[in-house]
Amino acid sequence: MNFKTILINNLTIGNVLPLTFICGPCQIESRAHALEMAQALAEMAREAAVGLIYKSSFDKANRTSVHAARGIGMAEGLAILAEIRETTGLPTLTDVHTADQCAAVAEAVDVLQIPAFLSRQTALLLAAGETGAAINVKKGQFLAPWDMANVAAKIASTGNTR
């Protein structure tokens, strides 16, 4: 069997490699909090000898209530995530919700994450793939496991195999 590996920033991940975690606060609350969490997680990952991709969102666009906090916004959030990548050396990941966000987000983070509710949105998957960044698609509960092959094929159609 041929196992695939993917290089994300300075971290190589794959099925036959040591475990890699995607960790971080659900939502970026402030620069200070995000930096503190990233530094603590980086230290824990070093001590445990595991891979870590830092994850936090600048916009939680899928909240159930219009009154729920959504985040600090794209410009500020991407600046914080880029700073985390620079200061800790950790690869970074955040959600994208629209096709027009993908290019800017890919300049600031290493992995674009497609939320589960958006996992079949062709325009979003293609725009994410066209960035060349690594893509993490969360499987929607409405999809059978084998349906993810079609999701992956949409991204791969852009030439992106990450």
Per-residue pLDDT of the chain (162 residues; tens, 9 = 90+): 678 899 999 999 999 999 999 999 999 999 999 999 999 999 999 999 999 999 999 988 777 777 777 789 999 999 999 999 999 999 999 999 999 999 999 999 999 999 999 999 999 999 999 999 999 999 989 999 999 999 999 999 999 999
Residue 66 belongs to a domain with what CATH number?
Answer: 3.40.50.620
Q: Which of 95, 123, 150 is the last residue of a domain?
A: 95
SS3 155: helix
SS3 42: helix
Contact between 89 and 82 under an 8 Å Cβ cutoff? The reply is: no
Domain containing 140 equals 107-162
Dig out the tokens for 28 from the structure: 């970026």
Question: Are 134 and 85 within one domain?
Answer: no
Question: Are 133 and 91 within one domain?
Answer: no
pTM equals: 0.92
In DSSP terms, which residues pair with 134 in a beta bridge?
111
Domain-located, residue 24: yes
Q: What is the spatial distance between Cα 127 and Cα 133, in angstroms, rounded to a whole number?
A: 11
Question: Are 116 and 88 within one domain?
Answer: no
Dig out the tokens for 112 from the structure: 């674009």
Q: What is the spatial distance between Cα 134 and Cα 49, in angstroms, rounded to a whole number?
A: 22
In DSSP terms, which residues pair with 85 in a beta bridge?
none
Domain-located, residue 11: no
